[in-house]
Structure 1
Amino acid sequence: MRLARVTKDGKMGLAAKNGDAITVAYGEDVADLDTHISKGTLAEAGAAATAGETVSQGDLVFLPPLARAGKVICLGLNYADHAAEADMEVPEFPTIFARFASNLIGHEAPILKPASSDQLDFEGEMVAVIGKQAKNVSEADALSHVMGYSVFNDGSVRDYQLKTPQWTAGKNFDNTGSFGPWLVTDDELPAGGEGLKIETRLNGEVMQSAVTDLMIFNVQQTVTLLSSFLTLEPGDVLVMGTPSGIGLTRDPPVFMKPGDVVEVEIENIGLLRNPIEAE
């Protein structure tokens, strides 16, 4: 299934995509993917969306696939080429930081360049969404706890990020975490979302291009490691790191500015596009 939380003409709904066809079932209950994932009712919601009204994608406003993710856990330096361009060692344990759900936005929503900084950077990433509680799980069992995948742009305010060894400030500016548009269930993709092309484009120019199986810590390893010290719950979001090509390490640096358009596309998952606007 390929599902998205949307609004159309002010009505909340759940969209399903089958090939090029998009259908929507309306109602806040059917669109509540957080609840469907936690209660195991996603298949019923998807069936309702598939049987709904046929629409054009251009008539929809996309919201982040999940509204109430309990944890948004991000991996830094999870591609060796990105660690190298940042002049950092390849980590022996995942470099982990947190985002908060309150700063997430959907497909086509504006990413806001803050008034306090001119160093708004892009990071195209794959998302894995937990579907079943995970605590102390083995790598062999880890993927059974993942229900689907999506696309993320980890908009990063670099000067704030690098003020301290902890990256929280620069990773949590309002309206900088773009997520979606589609939540793609795991049965639609290779195991662990591996072997998929991931590409970030700024104003049509390719800035990042890689394949997801180049991650240092893959999805199953990440679920196992995280679950060794915390309990992963249904609806938790794992943002799996970015490849090389970020704006900060370019010569000269390339940062996003109002009027730009940034796209992150992952093969067989989807295209996430956002304009940049001033705060």
Structure 2
Amino acid sequence: MKFATYCADGNAFYGAVTNTGMIALNGDFPQWPTLLDVVQNDGLAELAAAAEGKAVTHTDFAYEMVLPNARRILCVGVNFPDRNAEYKDGSEQPKYMSLFPRFASGFTGHNQPLIRPPESPQLDYEGEVAIVIGKGGRRIAQADAYDHIAALTLCNEGTIRDWVRHAKFNVTQGKNWDKSGAIGPWLVPFTDAAQLDDARIITRVNGEVRQDDVLARMMHPIRREIEYISTFMTLEPGDIIVTGTPTGSGARLDPPQFLKPGDVVEIEVNGIGTLRNTIEDEAQ
């Protein structure tokens, strides 16, 4: 079963995704006002049980960022071998992973437009798997790491490329433009290691495959990401880790190909789904 945050009739809901529409479930769980509250209280199984046999409540709706009130979103950069080579700096595979924060305001939902700001035409795409922490912990061993995952989702980690080079030591300002990326469409409960170990990411722009790789090739696998991040910070239920993008982003093509209004970006991962977004210029 899949769970989403969405809007309908001017109101916010969360619920179960079906082939014909949404089953609103937030009214059944007043103690959990948002889907983030559900995750933080290990409630996805209760949501699934509540949805059984229920009728669809909404067929006309709009997806929101799946956890729009997420407190912490941490992204892993340059995490595939070919991606490291794209930088053409002669560097070896890094011993430690690159990390940076993103904030929920920088993301929108499935089928919503990514927003290109007037300050730069260099809006780029990055297709990634995102994991949602379900059980907190500190100094989590790799052998136990998957026990701490509640759910999986997808991320288009949209980036304003020239703004990641405004400073010497960080990329934060290029990674946090309002609605420049997307997370969704939904949460898929994590129940089996194969959901990650056998996952393949494909990113298409206007139907053309731009990124195509498997998570098994990550330089820093997801078990290692959880171990490393939890060394210096206590992971908490509801934290999101965006795990890394393959080679093929627009900035690394020759010539570079950045996103423009009218483009359609689709990120597909087997077993999770497809995250689709259009591109629009920011309204002035």
Q: What count of residue pairs does the alignment treat as equivalent?
A: 276
* 1:95 maps to 2:98: yes
CA 1:195–1:213: 2 relative to 1, 3 Å:
same
- Structure 2 length normalisation: TM-score? 0.91
CA distance in 2, matches of 1:249, 1:127: 22
Matching residue of 1:15: 15
- Aligned-residue offset at 1:263: 0.9
Matching residue of 2:43: 41
- Aligned-residue offset at 1:192: 6.3
* 1:173 maps to 2:177: yes
Matching residue of 2:130: 127
CA 1:55–1:261: 2 relative to 1, 3 Å:
farther
* 1:254 maps to 2:262: no
* 1:218 maps to 2:221: yes
- Aligned-residue offset at 1:43: 1.8
Matching residue of 2:273: 270
Contact 2:195 2:271 in 1 (8 A): no
Which residue identity lines up with residue 34 of structure 2 in the other structure? D
Matching residue of 1:227: 230
Matching residue of 2:23: 24
For the aligned residue pairs, the C-alpha RMSD in angstroms reads: 1.8
- Aligned-residue offset at 1:191: 4.2
Moved over 6 A (4+): none
Could you give the per-residue CA deviations for residues 116-147 of structure 1, whole angstroms, max 9, x where no partner exists?
A: 00111100000011001110111111111111
Contact 2:16 2:25 in 1 (8 A): no
The worse-fitting range, judged by mean Cα deviation, of 26-35 and 77-86 is 26-35
Which residue identity lines up with residue 4 of structure 1 in the other structure? A
**Unpaired runs of at least 5, structure 2:** none
Which residue identity lines up with residue 229 of structure 1 in the other structure? F
Which residue identity lines up with residue 5 of structure 2 in the other structure? R
Which residue identity lines up with residue 188 of structure 2 in the other structure? V
CA distance in 1, matches of 2:17, 2:267: 19
* 1:186 maps to 2:190: yes
Contact 1:69 1:236 in 2 (8 A): yes
Q: Which secondary structure state, in structure 1, belongs to the residue aligned with residue 232 of structure 2?
A: coil
Identity in percent: 39
CA distance in 1, matches of 2:45, 2:280: 37
* 1:144 maps to 2:147: yes
